[in-house]
Every structure is written in structure tokens, then in C-alpha cells.
Amino acid sequence: MLESKCPPLLLLFTTLLMVSCNSTEHAAEQDGENAVAGDLMKFKITNSTHFSYGLAANVVAVLLYGSNYVPLKRIETGDGMFFQWVYCSAIWAVSIVGDIMLDSPKFHPFAMLGGILWVTGNITVVPIVKTIGLGLGTLIWGSCSLLMGWGTSRFGLFGITPQDVSRPILNYCGAGMCLLSGLIFFCVKTNVELHPITESIPLLLDRRINSSSYCPNSSTFWIDLIGTKTRRFIGFLLAVVAGLLYGSFYSPILYIQNHSSCRDSMFHGASVYDLDYMHSVSSGIFATSTVYFAIYCAAMKNRPRVYSRVILPGLLCGIMWALATYCWFLANNYLSAVITYPIVTAGCGLVAALWGSLVFKEIRGLVNSLIFSLASCVVLTGSLLTAISKI
């Protein structure tokens, strides 16, 4: 599966960075057109083109984010700690290639904070997928991420300058409908198999101690020892926590950009181009995941549960997330975070829900299907209202 998908992903990555390297020139052209009062028509054409570029990048980001954990669905990951380290390693590797293609912009250690927050939330992904499913889990943490990320951009939380839109009422309505869709999706009951496919024995588990008593269908993970209702509640709670942390992922970048014009700030002269911060964020992701994995190995007395079959899916998941983030950052350059955030978070939740319901059969029954259809219509309408509020 990895061999068939890597060439298109690399082609997409190369094309994306070629477009992103020219975006600064486009932005400068737009500034020049704004300065010429008699060239209003040309400005409108350029603005419309930038909107199309931003919307296209958003669509790619939505598809990649929504399909991000699909390769993981049929693979046993144990407690997920080894998976998240492989996953974050792939993200960092892609960011190195991107950093070289972008001529190595200045590294900002403060932007690593976003990566630290993201990894802390990402550790909960495996338990979430195992308890409430891929689709529902993505929708819940997407809704919470939407509330945090959109609110930070729109109202200027944490010392960030508020971002304005042409039609604020439409923006509020769109973001509200995206959030409402998450609440509706919350009512959907999922059918989750705890261990769809299991390896016989973890790679680094001590065979002398466990080989005689190990059974492929048995599990010693904490999530298997609790009841169904408790497991579902824990899954919802973890999804909310993950969403709040995911929603704070972009805040350090916004803070640096907002203070780049302040002469008294340590970030004076910093780039306002989002893609210049991708390597800094990815470095924070990889460094934090490595620290967490080292702590985990020490807690397991150097006998971590490492499943070999998770390596290739983990690398593929990491590549997809990195490409999706590049697309989202590029969309922010053409539009703004207050526009792209509701679209990306709500859209990727819808794509994940489609994977969960149509492919993995997590959503069954007429009532659940009707609720899912209603929530899908709400999220599509909300994303559309949010997008046109910029025009």
C-alpha cells in the first residue's frame, strides 16, 4: 500500500511547494494592486484567484487530514506509544525536505510549542479510535479544535491580534453550524471492534515470560479492562482534551506573526508566511514524541510494546499529516486562519466519518444513518458560509 501511494504524495508535495514559493510574489503583486486606485478590476481578479488557490489547498488538506488514520484502522497498535513515535518521525522527515525547498527560513524555537501541544493531544488518538471509532473520534476532537482555533483567531486570545472578515455574521453562523454538527455527530452510536487484526506477539515483548501464556485474542491494555459505557465516556473525554490541544497548535505561530512588526518584541522582523514555521513545529513534534517514548520505555523497564506491522502505516500517516499541514498553511496565506480553520476541522471530520461509516461500518442502523446525514448537511453548510464570509 505504501509503494502505490508514495509517488502521488511526493508529486503533490513538490507541486505544493512550487506554488508556495511563488505565493510571496503573488502577495507582493496584490499589495501593489491595492496601491493603484485605478486598477480595481485587476485587483478583484487577483483576489478571486487567491481565493481559488486557498480553497483548493483547503480541500486537499481536508481530504488528507480526514484520511490520516485510515492506514492505522486495521492494524493493532497496542498502547500507541511506538506508533506515535514512528508517526512523528515521518512528519519531521517531510519537514526537512520542505525546509530545504523553502531555502531554510529562520528557525523559531517558540513555534515548537505548537508541536509540543499537538503531540500531547496525539498520544490519546489510539485510545480514542479503539473506544469510539475513527469517524466519531475525529468529529468530536475536530469540533473542540474548531472552537479553540477559530476563537483564538477571531477574538484574539492569548495576545493574538483578532482577524477581521468581510461578512462577520456569515462567519459566526458558519462556525456555529460547524460546531453544531459536532454536537449532532455526538449522538451517533458507533460499532467499534477493539482488536480487528492482531499480531501474534509484540516485537519487543519478552518471549521467555509471555510466550507460554500469550493469546492473540487476549489483551493486557487498560482499555480492554473497562466496561463498554465507561470506555465510551473515556473516549469522549479524551477526544475533547485532544481537540483543545489540537486547537492550540497554531497559536504560537499567530503570536510570532502578530508581534513581527513590534520593534520591542523579540520576534521583530519574523516572517508572516506560515510555511516558514513548518520545520520549527515539526521539530517540536519529533523532539517531544521522542521524550515521551523514552519515558514510556523507562516506565516499561525497557520492555516496550513495539508492534512491527505498525511501522509502514505509521510512516504513511505521518506523511499524509505533514502534506495536509503544508496545504493548510498555504491556504492560510491566501485566506486567513479564521476562514480556513472551521473548514479544515469540520471537513476532515466529515471525511473521517465517511470512512468510518461506509468502509469500516462503524455507523449502522437507520436512526444513526439519518443523524449522520443531518450532521453532514449542517457541516457542509457551515463550511460554505465560513468560506464566503471572506469574499
Q: How confident is the model at residue 73 (pLDDT cuts 50, 70, 90)?
A: confident
Q: How confident is the model at residue 290 (pLDDT cuts 50, 70, 90)?
A: very high
The verdict on residue 368 lying in a domain is no
The verdict on residue 44 lying in a domain is yes
- Which of 75-89, 221-235, 300-314 is predicted least confidently? 221-235
Mean pLDDT of 21-46: 47
User: For residues 223 and 283, what is the distance between their CA atoms, to the nearest angstrom?
Assistant: 30
For 144-187, write each residue's pLDDT tens digit: 887 787 778 777 777 787 777 778 888 888 878 877 876 777 77
Which helix (H) or strand (E) covers residue 139, if one does? helix 134-155
The verdict on residue 270 lying in a domain is yes
The verdict on residue 372 lying in a domain is no
**Distance linking the first and last C-alpha atoms of the chain:** 41
The verdict on residue 82 lying in a domain is yes
User: For residues 281 and 6, what is the distance between their CA atoms, to the nearest angstrom?
Assistant: 23
Give the structural domain span for 13. Answer: 2-157+194-204+222-336
The verdict on residue 217 lying in a domain is no
Q: How confident is the model at residue 60 (pLDDT cuts 50, 70, 90)?
A: very high
DSSP, res 276: G
The verdict on residue 288 lying in a domain is yes
| Cα 332 to chain centroid, rounded | 14
| Block residue for cell numbers 486537499 | 60
Q: At what angle do helices 40-66 and 337-354 cross, to 10 degrees?
A: 30
| Count of domains observed in the chain | 1
pTM, 2 dp: 0.73
Q: What was the pLDDT predicted at 88? A: 95
| Block residue for cell numbers 491566501 | 334
- Is the pLDDT score of 17 beyond 80? no
The verdict on residue 382 lying in a domain is no
Residue 387: closest CA among 219, 165, 184: 165
Beta-carbon contacts of residue 189 (< 8 Å; ≥ 6 apart): 363, 365, 368
For 208-249, write each residue's pLDDT tens digit: 344 444 334 434 555 666 666 777 788 888 888 888 898 888
Instruction: List C-alpha distances in Å: 223 to 86, 129, 130, 291.
Output: 22, 11, 8, 23
Residue 165: closest CA among 299, 319, 341: 341
